[in-house]
Structure 1
């Protein structure tokens, strides 16, 4: 009897202990993910391997395969506006950077981020995040507008829009370029190459952050592959001679890969060679070799960026953070057709532009011919609101957070990155910040897409830059070039290369989208470009 009582008492004690443990030892809270946004500069739609290129980008390709690819993701078609929009979750005019980083009296075009917006860095701090940035800023020239004044705990990079990759010497008359560390100017030393240096500091900041046991947000804004075309010799050597078959055949090859990968549908045609680009067969051998050299250097720049993304990923693995980090990659606009010529450049830079791109003292760009290849299969380039200006490859990667092997063809936009980051961080978008009323975000979180779930998407997306304009709603896109101002209508399901204008046969749709666009311009503060004047610092 006594033995039975002892056994019964023991069982009761075990039961009570189990209850106690179940109530007193809850599951530990899930650690918030680190968040990284990587932004390329002036990179075309088909410039990385998983989007049709022969450039070696194994890290981006692996991230695309193990994560999410979005094939109809949009930017704002130019450096400054995209960066303002990406950072704030607003259209660029609402953030004060309706054009470039030049100052104008109109609030939507003041040339730096205003006080009625918050950056992702400012907003995400409410979730206990440390905020890090390396690379190109380009949304506020004066020191009071630098990254450390807009929510970033640590910063290293280029404040301005472009610079040599090997130094910081000026390239325009009356211009002073600034590379900064935290809130102080920085002078590069021997062996400096900006793509490597930005990654060096990003890695340094992440390692320092590990000591705090806090999650981090990193904005890594590469200058690459914006002109000037400058790369390291060992990277250039991989690509010399790879472009001698000519731009027409290379554009066709990219087009076929895009079809094969399912990035574009079978209704999408390859746009004709741009009107500024002659037939390859009309070039002299010297001209062909010069273009091959340019493309070898351009490819080497992207290759080096991918190598550095690999270094960043290895650091995360070394620190045990790779399984708890979401990485998003995109480009700030389409490929650039810009040339290094005219009174806007110093005579020394004009002289340097005549050198082969593989010469480290050169200062060249690849102009219309290179941009036409980079943006295949689309037409037009950076600055315009056609797909060649606004479409970017988008990759999201994060083991356990982003569903692997997923591709989404729904339209999305840089305004969505603010909402996405705050959703991942479990932070509400603020209504006020430092006693200033904050404009409501325009974006929608992409996290449902990361998980392979349904996503409501946008009722419409809007674009305007220096008078060029567009509105995208569902399968329809209305677009216009400045100063022409005529609307052109395209069905993006049947004609994403925008070759068949349907405006004459569908005037009601033109009218419907025009009404939407006009209402947006009033809400966003968009003004006719011809009324703005040049502004200071342009």
Structure 2
């Protein structure tokens, strides 16, 4: 055969290969998971807020909203569970990033789980991440060691939005990383913008590879400290002077009008620690208004950056072939910046006005009770106020626009969902390690409007707080009382009517179900855990 013939065959072979690759990419969508941090159930427009979130609202209008989607009630447990499709204890993060000599509580992802990034990378995806990691602080456990091709963001759990490596706890080191190296932030830094900047750079770089991508966009907004840009704060100053009771009532009314809440759903009582609005001084009212305005501005800026990412997808011609899922890692946080866990400088900064970029403060229970409308309690507890999250899914041509789905689902489902979207199998082994079978159920049938089998039960445990949900029944307890309470969440989503005394057989049935799960998932009663070796 002549040399020219060989060249022609080679060109034909390359052309066929490129065509196959392009067809394969077209049939496999890009996948983006966007995670907010400490954002309450009612904090975006399409879930009842007065906050301006036009980009998320548009995703909801043209996609799917789920009303009963659950997280693990705290930052790192949720992140471990979301990334691996396992309950957090099975992944090694049973209690934050605290190190204990127990495999389920080692404080970083173990070798018997795979991340979504690891599974999709093996299946031909480029894997990208920007934002908060918080499931392993040592360099051996950074994102690039767990399947991500590129990473930019905060390795730790929280930081100032303007000076992100400034320690807020004694003897603390905070790290911003680019791929596998520490990164030094420059002037003009604002975390929400910076993380989105790099997400966009990664998406642009991916275009050259002719491969689909997975992006895990983990914003730190609106986790404390509440810090925002002046132009965003100006939109909201004065909007919260009507007080918390009125704000909660208006949010619930909007939730009912949009179909997020049933028409007969009741608002949980104002938290017992919160006084009557009219008992406050003018100065106290103004301080609440300011903190709420800053908090809303943080959510607003996150939404703006989601819009920037969507615009980049459109510019690159990727918008029609990208699945976007949005949720929060837990309910709103009632935490305060007080006590010996913070440096003297940060404790002093807590008393500066929230509009001051050198402040370091939180909106505490007063704001969190509004954010979690209509639910009770907050981040850390297993009531709906701790575990219920907005969930939006957007997939042009697949998800029917404007749908509202009321079936309960959980962060463990995102692994199976991503793998089915990508046509990738969940591995039985990875890097020579046996992988724990996933706990999740793919949401893809639900996205398509098809029958979805869901779960026989969903389970929750964090630092001794416990819950199990099966069907319309939810059994929940909080430490240290450790007393089971029973609620019918179909008729009482706000968990105001404890039915445990009326249905003791249901309590026994669900507690046995919980105990079986806890044994299987290696949950250890919190009071029996050894002392933590620190974060």
1:7 matched residue in structure 2: none
Secondary structure at the counterpart of residue 99 of structure 1 = strand
- Residue-by-residue CA offset, 1:78-97 (whole Å, 9 max, x unaligned): 00000000000000000000
1:18 matched residue in structure 2: none
| 2:194 equivalent to 1:197 | yes
Q: Could you tell me how far apart the structure 2 residues matched to 1:492 and 1:266 are?
A: 14
| 2:409 equivalent to 1:431 | no
2:239 matched residue in structure 1: 242
1:532 matched residue in structure 2: 529
Larger radius of gyration: 1
1:328-339 pair list within 5 angstroms: 328-339=325-336
- TM-score between both structures, scaled by the size of structure 1: 0.95
Assess if the C-alpha contact under 8 Å between 1:406 and 1:452 holds in 2. no
Question: Once the 2 structures are TM-superposed, how far is the Cα of residue 266 of structure 1 from its aligned partner?
Answer: 2.6
Q: Could you tell me how far apart the structure 1 residues matched to 2:88 and 2:338 are?
A: 29
Which one of 24, 40, 45 corresponds to residue 44 of structure 1? Answer: 40
Secondary structure at the counterpart of residue 308 of structure 1 = helix
Q: Could you tell me how far apart the structure 1 residues matched to 2:220 and 2:307 are?
A: 17
Assess if the C-alpha contact under 8 Å between 1:82 and 1:332 holds in 2. yes
2:74 matched residue in structure 1: 78
Which one of 246, 260, 264 corresponds to residue 263 of structure 1? Answer: 260
Question: Once the 2 structures are TM-superposed, how far is the Cα of residue 533 of structure 1 from its aligned partner?
Answer: 3.0
- Residue-by-residue CA offset, 1:113-163 (whole Å, 9 max, x unaligned): 000000000001232100000000000010000000000000000000000
Question: Once the 2 structures are TM-superposed, how far is the Cα of residue 401 of structure 1 from its aligned partner?
Answer: 2.8
1:164-203 pair list within 5 angstroms: 164-167=160-163, 168-203=165-200
Question: Once the 2 structures are TM-superposed, how far is the Cα of residue 28 of structure 1 from its aligned partner?
Answer: 4.9
2:86 matched residue in structure 1: 90
Secondary structure at the counterpart of residue 336 of structure 1 = coil
Assess if the C-alpha contact under 8 Å between 2:259 and 2:404 holds in 1. no
Q: Could you tell me how far apart the structure 1 residues matched to 2:186 and 2:334 are?
A: 31
Assess if the C-alpha contact under 8 Å between 1:132 and 1:153 holds in 2. yes
In structure 2, relative to structure 1, the CA distance for the partners of 1:511 and 1:281 (3 Å cut) is: same
1:109 matched residue in structure 2: 105
Question: Once the 2 structures are TM-superposed, how far is the Cα of residue 267 of structure 1 from its aligned partner?
Answer: 3.4
Q: Could you tell me how far apart the structure 2 residues matched to 1:383 and 1:124 are?
A: 31
The worse-fitting range, judged by mean Cα deviation, of 115-124 and 397-406 is 397-406
Q: Could you tell me how far apart the structure 2 residues matched to 1:99 and 1:260 are?
A: 38
| 2:135 equivalent to 1:139 | yes
Which one of 432, 450, 455 corresponds to residue 452 of structure 2? Answer: 455
1:300-315 pair list within 5 angstroms: 300-315=297-312
Secondary structure at the counterpart of residue 363 of structure 1 = coil
Q: Could you tell me how far apart the structure 2 residues matched to 1:291 and 1:104 are?
A: 39
- TM-score between both structures, scaled by the size of structure 2: 0.95
The worse-fitting range, judged by mean Cα deviation, of 146-155 and 524-533 is 524-533
Q: Could you tell me how far apart the structure 2 residues matched to 1:440 and 1:335 are?
A: 31
Secondary structure at the counterpart of residue 335 of structure 2 = coil
In structure 2, relative to structure 1, the CA distance for the partners of 1:201 and 1:500 (3 Å cut) is: same
Two-structure CA RMSD over aligned residues (Å): 1.1
Which one of 367, 375, 378 corresponds to residue 370 of structure 1? Answer: 367
- Residue-by-residue CA offset, 1:440-488 (whole Å, 9 max, x unaligned): 0000000111111111110000000000000000000000000110000
Q: Could you tell me how far apart the structure 1 residues matched to 2:153 and 2:465 are?
A: 30
Q: Could you tell me how far apart the structure 2 residues matched to 1:71 and 1:281 are?
A: 33
Q: Could you tell me how far apart the structure 2 residues matched to 1:267 and 1:379 are?
A: 17
2:151 matched residue in structure 1: 155
Question: Once the 2 structures are TM-superposed, how far is the Cα of residue 402 of structure 1 from its aligned partner?
Answer: 2.2
1:440 matched residue in structure 2: 437
| 2:515 equivalent to 1:515 | no
Q: Could you tell me how far apart the structure 2 residues matched to 1:397 and 1:223 are?
A: 22
Q: Could you tell me how far apart the structure 2 residues matched to 1:270 and 1:28 are?
A: 51
- Residue-by-residue CA offset, 1:322-373 (whole Å, 9 max, x unaligned): 0000000000000000000000000100100000100111000000010000
Secondary structure at the counterpart of residue 100 of structure 1 = strand
The worse-fitting range, judged by mean Cα deviation, of 27-36 and 163-172 is 27-36
Q: Could you tell me how far apart the structure 2 residues matched to 1:534 and 1:285 are?
A: 45
Unaligned runs of 5+ in 1: 1-24
Q: Could you tell me how far apart the structure 1 residues matched to 2:27 and 2:236 are?
A: 43
The worse-fitting range, judged by mean Cα deviation, of 386-395 and 396-405 is 396-405
Secondary structure at the counterpart of residue 153 of structure 2 = strand
1:33 matched residue in structure 2: 29
Q: Could you tell me how far apart the structure 2 residues matched to 1:334 and 1:267 are?
A: 23
- Residue-by-residue CA offset, 1:4-55 (whole Å, 9 max, x unaligned): xxxxxxxxxxxxxxxxxxxxx9995543100000000000000000000000
Assess if the C-alpha contact under 8 Å between 1:267 and 1:495 holds in 2. no
Q: Could you tell me how far apart the structure 1 residues matched to 2:530 and 2:483 are?
A: 22
The worse-fitting range, judged by mean Cα deviation, of 371-380 and 525-534 is 525-534
- Residue-by-residue CA offset, 1:378-403 (whole Å, 9 max, x unaligned): 00000000000000000001211322
Secondary structure at the counterpart of residue 144 of structure 1 = helix
1:9 matched residue in structure 2: none
| 2:78 equivalent to 1:65 | no
1:398 matched residue in structure 2: 395
Alignment: residue pair count: 514
Q: Could you tell me how far apart the structure 2 residues matched to 1:200 and 1:255 are?
A: 35
Assess if the C-alpha contact under 8 Å between 2:274 and 2:366 holds in 1. yes
| 2:485 equivalent to 1:493 | no
